[in-house]
Amino acid sequence: MNVIKLMLVDDHQVVLDGLRILLSGLPEIKIINECRNEDELNNNLKSGPPDIILLDITLPGRSGIEIARTLLEKYPLIKIIFFTGNTDEEILYEAIEAGANGILLKNSSRQEIINAINKVYAGEDYLGQNLSLTDLKNFIKIAKSGSNKKIQQDILTTREIEIIKLLADGFQYKEIASMLNISIRTVETYKNTILHKLELKSVVDIVKYAIKNKIIEI
């Protein structure tokens, strides 16, 4: 029997501890490393890539989505399952677009986590049972059809443009989170994704971009 080499990446130790307990004793799955951030992940990858990385989307520094893009360029055979509490459709679409093989919510059962790992290892894609497959497919269909009004070669989603407008108008992360009914960490994830897509370095650059591209009026 092949043993699935699994790497865990999450900035919350309680999540890592919980996954280790949930997956302990399984002959077909072996957790080879647990990482709290991108630096630890990169250091552990030096000893050899795993079969699957269970990766949080919201991490300090670069988001899991950005990390996944970089990883898959260097290690195209690694399979990635995003393990997240974020149900925002646009974030999940970004995760799929980045090359995710699966998406699991953090309230998934032990059996579902095991099933997802086995299915992805076998070459299948997996979308968590607690996610709305219909809604996500519809969103992906709309996004790919170009129905969303996007700018700069269709690289920004409608929500990202909305975030840009609010950042450029001077709203703080907490205010944006409240206005859009999302978490502060989700706002930060959007900001980091925007910076990556537009090859910018700071919120100031985002403001300049918004003015230059007439996203906001001054």
Report whether 116 contacts 81 (CB < 8 A): yes
Instruction: Determine, yes or no, domain membership for 218.
Output: no
Which pLDDT tens digit goes with each residue over 74-104? Answer: 999 999 999 998 877 778 878 887 888 889 9
Q: What is the pLDDT of residue 91?
A: 81
Calculate the alpha carbon distances from 57 to 137, 169, 171, 207 in Å: 19, 26, 23, 25
Q: What is the pLDDT of residue 54?
A: 97
The tally of domains found in the chain comes to 2
Residues spanned by the domain of 79: 4-134
Which pLDDT tens digit goes with each residue over 182-196? Answer: 988 899 899 988 988
Q: Are residues 125 and 46 in the same domain?
A: yes
Q: What is the pLDDT of residue 36?
A: 95
C-alpha 35/C-alpha 131 separation (Å) is 26
The answer, as to whether pTM is greater than 0.85, is no
Q: What is the pLDDT of residue 22?
A: 94
Q: Are residues 167 and 123 in the same domain?
A: no
Q: Are residues 44 and 9 in the same domain?
A: yes
- Domain boundary residue, one of 134, 160, 180: 134
Report whether 136 contacts 127 (CB < 8 A): yes
Q: Are residues 159 and 207 in the same domain?
A: yes
Report whether 3 contacts 29 (CB < 8 A): yes
CATH number at residue 29: 3.40.50.2300
- Domain boundary residue, one of 106, 134, 162: 134
pLDDT beneath 70: ranges in the chain: 130-154, 218
Q: Are residues 19 and 77 in the same domain?
A: yes
Q: Are residues 192 and 121 in the same domain?
A: no
Q: Are residues 40 and 129 in the same domain?
A: yes
DSSP characters for 5-29?
A: EEEEE-S-HHHHHHHHHHHTT-TTE
Q: Find the farthest-apart pair of alpha carbons in the chain and give their distance in angstroms, rounded.
A: 64
Q: Are residues 122 and 179 in the same domain?
A: no
Q: What is the pLDDT of residue 140?
A: 54
Instruction: Determine, yes or no, domain membership for 217.
Output: no
> Strand pairing of 52-55 and 29-35?
unpaired
Q: Are residues 51 and 130 in the same domain?
A: yes
Q: Are residues 157 and 100 in the same domain?
A: no
